[in-house]
Structure 1
Amino acid sequence: MTVKNLKVGVVGASMDGGWARYAHMPALAAIPEIDVVGIATSRTESALRSAAAFNVRNGYGSIAELLASDVDLVAVSVRAPLHEQAAMEVVEAGKHLFVEWPMGANFAQSQRLVERARTRGVRGYVGLQGRASPAVQHAAALLADGYLGRLYSVSLFGAFNFWNDPVATAYSADASCGANILTIPAGHGLDQMRMLVGEVASVNARVSCLRESVMAADVGKMVPMTAPDQVAAIGTLQSGAVFSAHFAGTAPTGNTFRMMLVGDRGELLIEGNGMPEIAALSLAGTREKGTALQPITVPEPALSGLAPGPSYNTTLLWHEIARDLREGTSNAPTLESACETRRLLDAMERSAAQQGATITL
């Protein structure tokens, strides 16, 4: 199906806060080819208030009401534990879907969503906006041009304060909710790695939680801490190159992320101060023996003049989604591709449960 003028409804766009308010609504407003036609929240009053604030025509007190309206695609941007349930409602209604990452609390939920979307004949996209980062896009172009030669290794490191003490939300401390250091920053970073260097063949991982309880800022009390706060993995890619990854959720101060790629002809470094999907990433590299990494100029994206911040990569992602639906292309991250990243995280969890055993994907 080709859509000329994309009519989008947003689930979870509340003026009371949340990712949709700070990322999706500014992003959607910046793209002329997209018309946000409705907002749904859990209460009609808040939906109408948010619709007025975002200059959207309609506010609905349920997903069902939004799905019954004239809408091409519905974006699900609710709390992470509710992603799969809301996304499945969209798919069952036969609407195109955008769902935040992680698309499900586990691999089984993610796989069910993929299979049902395929059966219903709808296109599904996932909020893996780190792929749209100009630095990552330019790194991909350099790799395609042979900048590194034969790839030997990839190393990722991230440290983030969102899961420090206090954690931002009580549900992020609960492993069953699937909104933790493994699923979010590690998931985004490893998805960027998959985009750049291909699929993982095998992985060995360790996942640990060094705290029994933690203060949760949103509820103002101590809650059990069952989600991991340290994730470490080594593995091999299908190309034969090796990779390593360490993500720490206990950084007491700021956030940092970096990915180092080494080949037989050069080196590339992607890094930034923040989570990999949000940070303004920079790029450096070298192809001369004995020389230090030098900054590499990253070309401006097709949408120029975007304000830095949470909506930057998200705007670029929505631009690709609109083009895919309009022109029939396949550039934005799909449910199927996102499910492969979830498969990798599942393999890491299974490896950790078996004391670091090798898991073949």
Structure 2
Amino acid sequence: MTVPISDHGSIGVGIVGLSASGGWAAGAHVPALTRLVGFELRGLVASSSATAKAAGDKFGVDLAYDNVRELAGRDEIDLVVITVKVPEHRELVMTALDCGKAVLCEWPLGNGLAETEQLAEAARTRGLPAFVGLQARSAPTIRYMRDLIADGYIGEVLSTSLIGSGGTWGAAVDARNAYTLDRANGATMLTIPFGHTIDALTMVLGEFDDIAVTTATRRRQVVDGESNREIPMTAEDQIAVSGVLDGGAIASVHFRGGMSAGTNLLWEINGTAGDLVLAGNSGHLQLADIELRGSRAGSDMAVMTPPRRYELAPRDAFADAPRAYNVANAYAQIRDDLASGTTLAPTFAHAVHRHRLLDRIGASASSRSGSR
């Protein structure tokens, strides 16, 4: 689906949640947009007029507001990007859509499946492009893995196993992320690092057919790293999922809260003709520093670097902002979708599909805990 672009010749972007004090929008979205051809950062929304002005001054943005309706109402803005906490997504996305603007919203799209379905339906009925920030599937290495599997590099896939660390949901938490401890806020280990990573796994290997789930909250209290006060945690800090994928391969995925002194991301795919192993420094596959290794016919494992054609954004341009690189690849797909009507980037409809898997996982875990 294409959209008319404003007369300035590039896609005008307004970011909701861009702050002069830093954060994900400043560290990932701004470098991605400013180092890609075809985008221009033209506006922002912050929590107050004062913080909006400070952010505008820092990032050289004239259109700086304290509410999304003013931003989305400007003709210069073609794409509204939502980068705030999950409980605020629904209202802000709906406002942008009501103003007739294309939207990119960080993952998770909604606080639960029902909100996500509502937002996807709102975008569909308005005929507006709407994208979700599941950028792990845009990463060159993940797209390369998908093609290796499809081309039979390891033969028939027999099984896959993945272990990941959530980073947050460990023994301590910083103030910015404390809200993720409350399951009701919809920004949990299940929805964020597990959600991003399972989206990449299913892109490479196919969806789950049969599934079995065990979850637990092993740490009921977490320490605020700044005040040392204890904060209750209701979100799961242990998630174990096993099952059968569409093609018959057996899958096992285990996420745990916090970080490990040992392994924080290890994904193996085993086939009849060889193996692939992806290792990284974080269970957040969407932003982890990763390395892919492969072996065929019993040969030694060797590093497998994606060919340059998989780089939708120039990797060399992000040496000082590595966490922005996968976001930049996602923006490159969005640019092509908006300009040419391709369907490369994950949409709100895809977000519904992924939320349904997470909902299925949550329901399976609930039914199992209820039987004990």
Shorter-chain TM-score bucket reads over 0.9
Report the alpha carbon displacement of residue 220 of structure 1 after superposing the two structures with TM: 5.5
C-alpha distance in structure 2 between counterparts of 1:105 and 1:193, whole Å: 22
Report the alpha carbon displacement of residue 182 of structure 1 after superposing the two structures with TM: 0.8
Return the letter of the residue paired with 1:307.
Answer: F
Pick aligned residue for 2:135 from 129, 139, 146:
129
* Aligned-partner SS, 1:354: helix
Alpha carbons 1:170, 1:217 under 8 Å: kept: no
Match of residue 281 from structure 2: 273
C-alpha distance in structure 1 between counterparts of 2:351 and 2:266, whole Å: 21
Pick aligned residue for 1:99 from 105, 130, 134:
105
1:28 equivalenced with 2:33 (yes/no):
yes
1:303 equivalenced with 2:302 (yes/no):
no
Report the alpha carbon displacement of residue 211 of structure 1 after superposing the two structures with TM: 1.9
Matches within 5 A, 1:205-354: 205-217=213-225, 221-251=229-259, 256-274=264-282, 275-289=284-298, 291-300=299-308, 301-304=311-314, 305-308=316-319, 309-354=322-367
C-alpha distance in structure 2 between counterparts of 1:62 and 1:30, whole Å: 27
How large is the Cα RMSD of the aligned pairs? 2.0
C-alpha distance in structure 2 between counterparts of 1:279 and 1:148, whole Å: 24
Segment of structure 1 superposing worse, 29-38 or 249-258: 249-258
* Aligned-partner SS, 1:7: strand
1:355 equivalenced with 2:368 (yes/no):
yes
Return the letter of the residue paired with 2:31.
Answer: P
CA offsets per residue over residues 261-301 of structure 1, 9 Å max, x none?
Answer: 12222211122112201012211111113x34221122231
Pick aligned residue for 2:151 from 134, 145, 157:
145
CA offsets per residue over residues 7-33 of structure 1, 9 Å max, x none?
Answer: 111100011232101110111111120
Aligned in 2, Cα 1:45/1:186: closer, same or farther, shift over 3 Å? same
Alpha carbons 1:160, 1:254 under 8 Å: kept: no
Match of residue 87 from structure 1: 93
- What is the identity percentage for the equivalent residue pairs of Structure 1 and Structure 2? 35
C-alpha distance in structure 1 between counterparts of 2:128 and 2:346, whole Å: 14
Return the letter of the residue paired with 1:60.
Answer: Y
Return the letter of the residue paired with 1:346.
Answer: D
Report the alpha carbon displacement of residue 113 of structure 1 after superposing the two structures with TM: 1.1
TM-score for both structures, normalised by structure 1: 0.93
Return the letter of the residue paired with 1:351.
Answer: S
Alpha carbons 2:42, 2:62 under 8 Å: kept: yes
Gaps of 5+ in 2: none
Aligned in 2, Cα 1:234/1:18: closer, same or farther, shift over 3 Å? same
Return the letter of the residue paired with 1:283.
Answer: L
Matches within 5 A, 1:163-174: 163-168=169-174, 169-174=177-182
Report the alpha carbon displacement of residue 93 of structure 1 after superposing the two structures with TM: 2.1
Aligned in 2, Cα 1:102/1:217: closer, same or farther, shift over 3 Å? farther
Aligned in 2, Cα 1:7/1:198: closer, same or farther, shift over 3 Å? same
Alpha carbons 2:312, 2:332 under 8 Å: kept: no
Moved over 6 A (4+): none
Report the alpha carbon displacement of residue 122 of structure 1 after superposing the two structures with TM: 0.8
C-alpha distance in structure 2 between counterparts of 1:160 and 1:280, whole Å: 14
Alpha carbons 1:2, 1:327 under 8 Å: kept: no
Alpha carbons 1:207, 1:232 under 8 Å: kept: yes
Alpha carbons 1:205, 1:356 under 8 Å: kept: no
Alpha carbons 1:202, 1:236 under 8 Å: kept: yes
Return the letter of the residue paired with 2:280.
Answer: G
Report the alpha carbon displacement of residue 120 of structure 1 after superposing the two structures with TM: 1.1
Alpha carbons 2:38, 2:335 under 8 Å: kept: yes
1:46 equivalenced with 2:51 (yes/no):
yes
TM-score for both structures, normalised by structure 2: 0.91
Alpha carbons 2:52, 2:65 under 8 Å: kept: yes
Report the alpha carbon displacement of residue 148 of structure 1 after superposing the two structures with TM: 2.3
* Aligned-partner SS, 1:317: helix
Match of residue 60 from structure 1: 65
